[in-house]
Amino acid sequence: MNAIRPVRILGLDPGLRRTGWGVVACEGARLIHVAHGVIAPSDKLPFAERLLVLLSGIEAVIAEHAPDEAAVEETFVNDNARSALKLGHARAIALVAPARAGLPVAEYAATVVKKAVVGTGGADKAQVGWMIARLLPTAGKTTADAADALAVAIAHAHARTAAQRAWRVA
């Protein structure tokens, strides 16, 4: 009998100081925690080297956990143009690393991610973390960044399940 491997989804919550990542396996409506963590380059490194740490870290996660698809949270616009630009660089790394590995990459607004996991787009980080603990009990304790990344992966899992249902109806 041929067993079909569940689809693995890598969720990324990009940040220059801390990029959260989480991998879930999606089998129909069932979600299974695979792994999660944070990539945190030293603030003491030059900017380009911090970006390189993010790139290498995401590539290592992809190599270790073999995701089939990736999803990245869109960053909210910061009033400080310099901070927004630097965050944009980190986000670019989060988009390029999985694309470079041949993965399809989806993007989701933070409000969409929160609504998918908590039920409201205005949820705070504590509510997201609480729901991640309920939805993925085997994940154990997560940092806010890793919980956000797992939430991005879950939002993508829900979106792809909804799309598959729509294709079957059409």
Q: What is the share, in percent, of the chain residues with pLDDT greater than 70? A: 91
How large is the average pLDDT for residues 63-74? 97
Per DSSP, 99 falls in state H
Residues annotated catalytic, as ranges? 13, 73, 145
User: Which is higher by pLDDT, 165 or 133?
Assistant: 133
The pLDDT of 61-66, averaged and rounded, is 98
d(CA 147, CA 156): 14
DSSP strand pairing (69-73 vs 7-13): parallel
Q: Measured between alpha carbons, how far is residue 117 from residues 17, 30, 114 in Å?
A: 24, 14, 5
pLDDT in tens, 72-123: 999 766 677 888 888 899 999 999 999 999 999 999 999 999 999 999 888 9
Cα–Cα nearest to 91, from 115, 68, 71: 71
Question: What pLDDT score was predicted for residue 154?
Answer: 96
Give the model's confidence band at 161: pLDDT under 50 very low, under 70 low, under 90 confident, else very high: low
Of the candidates 30, 34, 32, the one whose C-alpha atom is nearest the C-alpha of residue 21 is 34
Q: Give the Cα separation of 54 and 48 in Å (integer).
A: 10
Q: Output the pLDDT for position 157.
A: 95
pLDDT at 166 over 50: no
- Answer yes or no: pTM beyond 0.85: yes
Query: In 5-143, where does DSSP find H-type helix?
Result: 47-65, 81-100, 110-117, 125-135
